[in-house]
A and B are shown apart, each in its own frame.
Chain A
């Protein structure tokens, strides 16, 4: 555990040493805030709805995370590969899995900070009404889980290439695909997909969190996808031995 923790701290520090963390963080906060107050296309005015709820945050934040988080993960391994520092890293007494987990945990640290900065929105709602605090907590647990899964997918994309831009685009496509396209693809492949398959959609899995319900099945699903992405990243990293 210790090497993972050391790597994670180092990675978190490196993230906040680079301007990307601040740019990505600021863009995330502004975009989430705008969507929260005005909705997509400015159609849903928060104050006009006259409801003390943080629901719009949970509706739109996953979209923004799907776009922003690949920007955070793109450099994690691609940059190490490009600069050749990965070779230096693997000489340390750490396994490939520990490297991947350390990098991922570091990025999760960024995610936690970014999500913590959005707490201003629930605070605002609390100041003008009585929202269901339990539902807010559930929503944040969901955002943390889905964000971690997006990060794992981003890390996986970052292990596949030396080019940060390519890593970003691939990561972005993976995240957006899992968030939005699963239903559509399923419907293209199968005329009437069974409801069990529809559960592959991140949106379906996230819906319960946004309602304030932490369902074991949803947690297991996000953890499964994250684990698979971490394993795939580890084998991808290990593939240098086979090339």
Chain B
């Protein structure tokens, strides 16, 4: 009996002790979750906040960070570069945010979005409403007839006083610090600048609010019938036509709609007019709001009950289309307003213009003063027609450039500035882009570039040594004939970038880089005659003049996540021997061509088949450097030289004559001249396929005096202009299929150029990728085999030796 009790007690003791141990372990671990004692063993302390980040966290009072983290994140996320592991990423994100909160010493408040609160939606919905980027993994659910991919969010919003910033997608733990510190620094600058921009921001908000109220009312009225229809399957006023029902509903709500939308016109002409011209983002907002108002007026007309004019859509259909258009325009307005609200403190990027380069701006002055054109047209109707046509071409060029600027840069939140050949770079321009000039840079422009570089402003130079014309339209010799497809050729540009860059130790080559294996295709446009009619055909050919680079410097922020990049018509760029040997400089060959590439003096045959044959017959001499980043203490190319005087700008608008250069200005330039300074220079030996379009290039030889009297020569000149514009379109078309990827790279360049100085080190810290040396396949095999077999074999050999020793020892014992 006593024995049984003893055993039972022993069991109970054991269970109690184990239970207590589990309890203690749980408690200790639960308490430990609150602590953060850790050792960051990585070489660059990748997972520890740098002093700049700690300072940024302490610099702001009362920042509220709202984290949006999906409850169930997938283990991996498929991307074009492969699967990104997400296991434990939510914890890494929480930890990083918590680290900032600690570093801020109570100045940062961290809250987590929760889906437990009623009427706020799921975390994913809340995140999307807060402008986070939702992402999907491969997890999908069948919903009705469609496959629905599960959406996730992982990101945060940062609110500081009246301004906010969003971290839309936090999928790279190595870059959390870069992104969060960037946001904190930006919040500070944004708030400070927003205080100076209070009025335009308030005007922008008023316009946005007015447009939003109108759109909400219209969309509510336009959708009311759809909801009723779904609920009851009934129709209003006996109509079964959904368009008619929508029209009826909108007519019924006409008074409310008018009340909501009438203020828009007033806002556009009131606050909008005041906002116009102050800020490029504001201009964009007002233009979209004005367009919105125009569509609203059309919608109002369509719902008024008046019979449509001839050629107009029936009201029911018009209302449907206009309501949809209105909603789309509202999204444009929303985006433009968001960009305006984000613009305070955003650094401007200058584009050098005036040398036939890519310059995404409309010219500030018209081609011909309208009053002059009207006067000349009075004397001769033919002259009037030609001037009108030239103005139209000029407008088309301006519109194309302005659209490129808007869509590529302004809409993406970059503030861009035109720097003409006679302009001094303003102080608020943080970086300078020289985008593939095809004409030589003048002394003054070179001097501006030099001083910008030495002042520490990042300078990005893209080069275009050659123009490839696979099809060239030519104006006819005889008047009355059609334009003809004339020739294909490789034409050298007149760029002098090689001379411009030489003083900084950068050797920009003129010989094209070709590749036999790693190439992209070129789109060749041809003209065929069928039944007396001319048709255009297009066909893609692998093209040796468009090498695909896949060898990138993974340590450089620009190229860390690139998998490949096509560089049309590229040449090479190398550091000079002196620069390469100078330890004070950091020189990075950020992009290189493949080993199958070759450098060959140009011009080379441009037709794809001929070129291919030539490349296959020539020995490869790659790799060649295609992009070079240099950072260090540059010396001025103008040291000991006379500082160039600012050229006199052309006077095209007599009403607003430009400011003429003065002696005082030149004297000031001499006094502020920098002979040396630390700078950042990035040179890419290709234009990435983006060919510049300029009025001077298309309207080559435009001279108003030639049009005083009508002549057949004037007609011929006009057709040449048409041919020039068409040729630009053809040349862009040749590589249009590559542009999306290359534009993404261009965005990276702008990000890199406009990044905050303190962030550069943090960004490079986050680059976890470390490139492997080139290992030839035979060496790979032997290394693999050695590692796979070597260790197990060694272990087994050790076992055998030990076994033999034991046998010998046992034998010894027997004896």
Is B7 in contact with A241, judged by CB distance below 8 angstroms? yes
Question: Is A120 in contact with B775, judged by CB distance below 8 angstroms?
Answer: no
Q: Are A220 and B791 in contact, with the CB atoms below 8 A? A: no
Chain B, residue nearest A33 (CB): B788
- A160 CA / B802 CA spacing, docked (Å): 32
A128 within 8 A of B: yes
Q: Are B90 and A29 in contact (CB under 8 A)?
A: no
Chain A hits for B784, CB < 8 A:
37, 46-47
CB contacts (< 8 Å) of A132 on chain B: these are: 42-44, 46, 768, 770
CA distance A131 to B792 in the complex (A): 24
The CA of A204 and the CA of B33, in the complex, are separated in Å by 13
State whether B22 touches A213 (Cβ < 8 A).
Answer: no
CB distance from B702 to the nearest CB of A (A): 52
Contact (A33, B21) CB under 8 Å given A213-B41, A214-B38, A217-B32: no
- Asked if A243 CB lies within 8 Å of chain B CBs, one says yes
**Inter-chain contacts of B36 with A (CB < 8 A):** 215-217
Q: Which of A195, A228, A242 contacts B11, CB < 8 Å?
A: A242
Residues of B within 8 A of A46 (CB): 784
- A195 lies within 8 A of B94 (CB): yes
In Å, the complex CA distance between A124 and B43 comes to: 19
Inter-chain contact A216/B46, CB cutoff 8 Å: no
Contacts known (A19-B799, A204-B91); A128 close to B783, Cβ less than 8 A: yes
Does the CB pair A220–B29 fall under 8 Å? yes
User: A16-B802, A117-B795, A231-B18 in contact; A224/B29 too (CB < 8 A)?
Assistant: yes
Contact B787 A120 (CB under 8 A): yes
Chain A residues, Cβ within 8 Å of B11: 239, 242
Q: A interface, by DSSP: helix, strand, loop or mixed?
A: helix
Interface residue from B10, B37, B42 paired with A134 (Cβ < 8 Å): B42
- Select one of B18, B94, B771, B788 contacting A37, CB under 8 A: B788
Chain B residues within 8 Å of A207, by CB: 87-88, 91-92
A16 to B805, CA, bound (A): 13
Contact A133 B771 (CB under 8 A): no
Cα A120 to Cα B806 in complex, Å, equals: 28
Residues of chain A within 8 A of B25, CB atoms compared? 224-225, 227-228
Closest CB-CB distance, A126 to chain B, in whole Å?
A: 11
Are A211 and B173 in contact, with the CB atoms below 8 A?
yes
**Are A129 and B14 also in contact (CB < 8 A) when A26-B796, A117-B791 are?**
no
B198 close to chain A: CB less than 8 A: no
**Min C-beta distance of A206 to chain B, whole Å:** 8
Are B35 and A217 interface neighbours, CB within 8 A?
yes
| Tally of A-B Cβ pairs under 8 angstroms | 183
Name the A residues within 8 Å of B794 (CB-CB).
117
B28 / chain A contacts, CB cutoff of 8 Å: 220, 224
In the assembled complex, the CB of B33 is this many whole angstroms from the nearest CB of chain A, namely 6
Q: Which of A129, A212, A221, A243 is in CB contact (< 8 Å) with B770?
A: A129
Is B664 on the interface with A (CB-CB < 8 A)?
no
A34 to B785, CA, bound (A): 10
C-alpha spacing A29/B32, complex, angstroms: 35
Please, which residue of chain A has its CB at the minimum distance from the CB of B551? A50
Interface centre among B8, B72, B787 (most CB of A within 10 A): B787
Which residue of B35, B41, B94, B790 is within 8 Å of A135 (Cβ)? B41
Which residue in B29, B47, B90 is a CB contact (below 8 Å) of A213?
B47
- Establish whether residues A129 and B32, one from each chain, have CB atoms under 8 Å apart when the complex forms: no
Report Cα–Cα, A47/B796, bound state, in Å. 27
Query: Is the CB–CB distance between B795 and A25 below 8 Å?
Result: yes
Assess whether A203 is interfacial by the CB under 8 Å rule. yes
B33 and A212 within 8 A (CB): no
Tell me whether A8 is interfacial, beta carbon within 8 Å: no
Q: Are B7 and A134 in contact (CB under 8 A)?
A: no
Taken together as a complex, chains A and B put the C-alpha atoms of A25 and B799 apart, in Å, by 11
Pair B47/A128 contact, Cβ less than 8 Å: no
Q: With A51-B554, A120-B787, A134-B42 given, can you name 4 additional A-B contacts, CB distance below 8 Å?
A: A26-B795, A51-B769, A228-B18, A241-B7
A contact residues vs B (CB 8 Å cutoff): 16-17, 19, 21-22, 25-26, 29-30, 33-34, 36-37, 46-47, 49-53, 117-118, 120-121, 124-125, 127-135, 137-138, 187, 192, 195-196, 198-199, 203-204, 207-208, 211-217, 220-221, 224-225, 227-228, 231-232, 235, 238-239, 241-243
Selected A-B contacts with CB under 8 Å, 22 pairs? A19-B799, A22-B795, A25-B792, A30-B788, A33-B791, A46-B784, A52-B772, A120-B786, A131-B770, A134-B41, A134-B42, A135-B42, A192-B71, A195-B69, A199-B91, A213-B47, A214-B38, A217-B38, A220-B29, A228-B18, A241-B10, A242-B11
